[in-house]
Structure 1
Amino acid sequence: MTVAEVMAELAALEDPKVRAVNEQRGDDHGVNLSELRALAKRLKTQHDLARQLWDTGDTAAQLLAILICRPKAFEPGELDAMIRAARAPKVRDWLVNYVVKKHPRSEDLRLSWSTDPEPGVAAAGWMLTTERVRKQPEGLDLATLLDTIEAELKDAPDRLQWAMNECLGHIGIDHPQYRARAIDIGERLQVLADYPTPRGCTSPFVPIWIAEMVNRQQR
């Protein structure tokens, strides 16, 4: 399929109700994600088409591009440019989770992004740090990470705050020796303490989140 044909399909999938819900989260597209994934499954991996779809700047097209690209085919500089160009939170999240985490230079990007002055880029760096906290903590200085979180979390912009808070939570969940300190930081800073949590979901407030996840592990 050509870019024009794919864009026409995406336009046909546009649903005003889906767009209205997505726009509340800052995501400017109206395509149901299940239908987007079905289209990606039909297209299969097409890296050149993915590049062209990304270059349209359209959010739905960029999400589709992420699903059909070859993560390792990107140069680190391309991924840096892409994370900076991405406007929608869902695009940045998918780019990190589905592409950057699979890239052989993800650690270089993590180190570069985590201290970037642009909050959205820094948030991507902290997402990668959380991945290491969870799956490959060897070599990480968790005590220093907690120092940084304690100093910066309270006043961080929303997206960056969310990513740092997630890292704080996973340090407490996955590393028992730091659990008490992670809970203490959460209690003192009160970040996301009043976050509206739907019934059946776990609060992102770190003391509650850690307690719930540890309790599940011990069942």
Structure 2
Amino acid sequence: MAELAALEEPRAREVNEKHGDDHGVNLGKLRAVAKRLKTQHDLSQELWDTGDSAARLLSLLICRPKAFGRDELDAMLREARTPKVQDWLVNYVVKKSPHSESLRGEWFADSDPVVASAGWALTSERVVKKPEGLELAALLDIIESDMKDAPERLQWAMNHCLAQIGIEHPEYRERALDIGERLEVLKDYPTPPNCTSPFAPDWINEMVRRRDNP
């Protein structure tokens, strides 16, 4: 904890707080600490239990994902109230867990939009890697009716799913593009030069273009 405190940078905290995160540790330096520590699941749990965001991020880098029980992961997600901790928990731990599909189904329908956003993130993963059994048309129905007025983090997760459906599944591409154009979610999002806009129609068209013209 002392080492993490020494890595705190006021400028990094200022930037992170604009995105809802409450730490100021440079993530490259945090990863260097994790690389040195390697996998230490017991230490990982101690770090998580501190409640400190930087410690929790480090915890997620040195844990053993398959060692967590289903209820444990569910509790961790509901405790992970900052975006970066939630994002790393879902992407670095839950996606590697044998409980990921069970949790996806539960979180997807949760009334808490932060928890639901994790369910949508796992659904996007399935859209790309294992779409069998997913009702893509039904997902588009939900996105069409709910995304426009969804809270920010849930809206981002739904928009990501919309884009992945359009990119990966040509039979639904026209409808995905139409939904994106009509809802205009993230249409005016400031995007740096040479970066792909998160506006779903632009995102879909750009990724399809790259795939067709490598």
Could you state the TM-score of these two structures normalised by the residue count of structure 1? 0.96
In structure 2, the partner of 1:137 is 131
Q: C-alpha separation between the residues in 2 aligned to 1:61 and 1:135?
A: 31
Aligned to 1:23: 17
Gaps of 5+ in 2: none
Structure 1 residue 151, shift from structure 2 partner: 1.0
Deviation track 1:57-78 (CA, whole Å, cap 9, x = no partner) reads 1000000000000001000101
Q: Which residue of 2 aligns with 1:96?
A: 90
Match of 1:108 in 2: 102
Which of 163, 168, 178 in structure 1 is aligned with 2:162?
168
CA distance in 2, matches of 1:40, 1:165: 32
What is the match of residue 119 of structure 1?
113
Structure 1 position 203 matched with structure 2 position 182: no
Which residues of structure 1 form unaligned runs of 5+?
Answer: 1-6
Partner AA of 1:98 in structure 2: Y
Taking only the aligned residue pairs, the percentage that are identical comes to 70
Is the partner of 1:192 in helix, strand or coil?
Answer: coil
Between stretches 13-22 and 95-104, larger displacement belongs to: 13-22
Scaled by the length of structure 2, the TM-score of the pair is: 0.98
- Cα separation, 2, equivalents of 1:126 and 1:141: 13
List 4+ stretches of structure 1 deviating above 4 A: none
Residue 4 of structure 1 corresponds to which residue in structure 2? none
Q: Is 1:79 matched up with 2:62?
A: no
Corresponding position of 1:47: 41
Q: Residue 24 of structure 1: CA displacement?
A: 1.0
The one-letter code sitting in structure 2 at the alignment partner of 1:81 is A
Count of equivalent residues: 213
Q: What CA RMSD, in Å, does the superposition of the two structures yield over aligned residues?
A: 0.6
1:87, distance to aligned residue in structure 2 (A): 1.8
Secondary structure of the 2:46 match is helix
* Residues 9-56 of structure 1: per-residue CA shift (max 9 Å, x gap): 001111111111111111111111111000001111111111110011
